[in-house]
Amino acid sequence: MENGATTQTTVKSGRMANLELLRCVAMMMVVALHFLDKGKLLPKLSEADMETAGYAAWLLESFCIVAVNVYMLISGYFLCVSSFKLSRLLSLYLQVWFYSVIFGLIGGVTGIAAGTSFDIHYLLTLVFPISMGHYWFLTAYFYLYLFLPFIGRAVAQMNQRQLQISTGLLFFAFCLLKSVLPLRLEMDGKGYDCLWYLCVFLAAAYFRRFGVPPLEKKGRGILLYLLGCLLIFGGSMGLRAVYLKTGSFGLMLTMFVEYNHIFPFLAAAGLFAAFLRLKVTKTAAAFAVKAAPYTLGVYLLHENIGLRYSWQKWFGAGHALTVPELLAKTLAAAVCVFVCGIVVDMLRSAVMKRLHRLLCRIRIYEKIVEKVGRADGMFRF
């Protein structure tokens, strides 16, 4: 069964405005994370002297680190009831390739790509963005989508108990084990791989099919989010204190802000559940439904190898800030980069649609489109 709260914010376009709004929020959180980290505003936990702004930066990090898991929960929530589409896979690859090559070349040629050598490896990263891991998130997502014909059908045929057991085993292997053991596991991918996003996908599928009754009660989701984030911050500061006193756990200092740790996942699940129940105003719904389809462009733009270590300076990163300055500049960066990314992707989408219509006049291209359409039909269920 599906969560009954989802129908309350579904708009005429068929999109769920509450989850589309969450998608936008999650992407702004991603920008904030990259501003703090790559802008050198997030001090290392191994540093003995940490100023107030450093603690504030880590607190912001703790509340935003849920973003990637949230984004994948949203994707999984919809993918688990969707059929694999070759056209979607090709469209995604072309979108990634567009940003990778165009903005990568601009950054490399103009010298904006600070700290990155404009060499053969750089060019190969632009031309083969998925295989070369230009965008680690898209690499993981792309390969997960390739598995959708298998896992989508499997999830659809499982009963509640089967899905509980299989998902529980995966979470034990890739999440719970690393979260409780006081050591670094050799096979721990820290959540930067397709295997972790398979776990998140299955969790989202369980949400969709069976719900999670404890989180469906009002306020429970946001409470879990707040508690999870505070545990992330407290755990990080606790490990730091132990390290500074004993020198132990140096390899584990960032454990609590790794995507596949139990606290970031639970906090993400809480925020997801809170938005799943949220009733969105007409104004917010209109904004979310309009902007959400272009949020991936925000990521592809600001995390392009030609820009990822440079744009933070445009917002005043790179030197010591007071707490008010840190908060104001992080918010300004998140909003401005988000808006720019949405506008750029709207333009890209318009150009690609126009190009597609022109190419459809060519017989060979038209035949390819027809074959891709037939392939899509083969996977419908």
* Residue 172: half-sphere exposure toward Cβ, Cα within 13 Å: 6
| Enclosing domain of residue 215 | 4-378
Residue 4 has pLDDT above 80, yes or no: no
Summarize the chain as % helix, strand, coil (round to 5). 75, 0, 25
Gap between the Cα atoms of 186 and 336, Å rounded: 39
Residue 14 has pLDDT above 90, yes or no: no
Task: Give 286-301 pLDDT, tens digit per residue.
Answer: 999 999 999 999 999 9
User: For the residues of 65-120, what is the DSSP string, one character each?
Assistant: TTHHHHHHHHHHHHHTTS---HHHHHHHHHHHHHHHHHHHHHHHHHT-STT---SH
Task: Give 313-371 pLDDT, tens digit per residue.
Answer: 999 997 878 999 999 999 999 999 999 999 999 999 999 999 999 999 999 999 999 99
| Cβ density class 245-256: b for 16+ within 10 Å, e for less | eeeebeebbebb
**Residue 8 pLDDT level (bands cut at 50, 70, 90):** very low
Sequence-separated (6 or more) residues with CB below 8 Å from residue 172: none
Going 294 to 310 to 41 to 58, the CA torsion angle's sign is positive
Q: What are phi and psi of 282, to 5 degrees?
A: -60, -40
Q: Judge whether 74 and 364 are in contact, CB under 8 Å.
A: no
- Specify the number of domains making up the chain: 1
Going 38 to 43 to 46 to 47, the CA torsion angle's sign is positive
Sequence-separated (6 or more) residues with CB below 8 Å from residue 146: 89
CA 15 to chain centre: 19
**Residue 118 pLDDT level (bands cut at 50, 70, 90):** confident
Residue 356 structure tokens: 């597609």
Sequence-separated (6 or more) residues with CB below 8 Å from residue 173: none
This prediction has a pTM of: 0.93
Residue 89 has pLDDT above 60, yes or no: yes
Task: Give 258-279 pLDDT, tens digit per residue.
Answer: 999 999 999 999 999 999 999 9
- Measured CA to CA in angstroms, residue 116 lies from 61, 107, 121, 298 at distances of 25, 10, 10, 21
Q: What percent of the chain has pLDDT over 70?
A: 96
User: For the residues of 302-367, what is the DSSP string, one character each?
Assistant: HTSTTTTTTGGGGGT-SS---HHHHHHHHHHHHHHHHHHHHHHHHHHHHHHHHHHHHHTTSHHHHH
- Measured CA to CA in angstroms, residue 123 lies from 136, 179, 306 at distances of 17, 38, 11
Gap between the Cα atoms of 38 and 111, Å rounded: 18
